[in-house]
């Protein structure tokens, strides 16, 4: 999945470069192109695709915390 995001960012970077170097283009237009076609979509895609990993990590942390609480409760009683 990361290779797709990397490829898309490369394309968006080239689009911004063309926008900046064209006779009618501006640096502001290039920055807007880079953000709207590159950073925002790729960030959203990576966030959505990483959701199962975050969910597993949260459940693992909760299970470890519950195990630590139960061990602390068993040792002190």
Please state, for a pLDDT cut of 90, what percent of the chain lies above it: 86
Instruction: Tell me what the mean pLDDT of segment 23-46 comes to.
Output: 94
In angstroms, the CA 38 to CA 42 distance is 6
Q: Is-contact 46 5, C-beta < 8 A?
A: yes
Q: Quick check: 77 pLDDT over 70?
A: no
The two three-digit tokens of residue 9, written as one number: 């960012």
DSSP per-residue letters across 4-61: HHHHHHHHHHHHHHHHHHSTT--HHHHHHHHIIIIIHHHHHHHHHHTHHHHHHHHHHH
The verdict on pTM exceeding 0.85 is no
Q: Quick check: 75 pLDDT over 60?
A: no
Could you tell me the pLDDT band of residue 71, with boundaries at 50, 70 and 90? confident
């Amino acid at each position: 999945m990361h290779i797709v995001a990397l490829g898309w960012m490369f394309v968006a970077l080239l689009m911004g470069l063309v926008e900046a170097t064209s006779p009618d283009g501006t640096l502001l237009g290039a920055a807007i192109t880079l953000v709207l076609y590159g950073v925002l979509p790729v960030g959203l895609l990576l966030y959505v695709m990483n959701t199962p990993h975050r969910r597993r990590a949260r459940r693992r942390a909760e299970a470890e915390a519950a195990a630590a609480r139960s061990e602390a409760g068993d040792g002190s009683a």
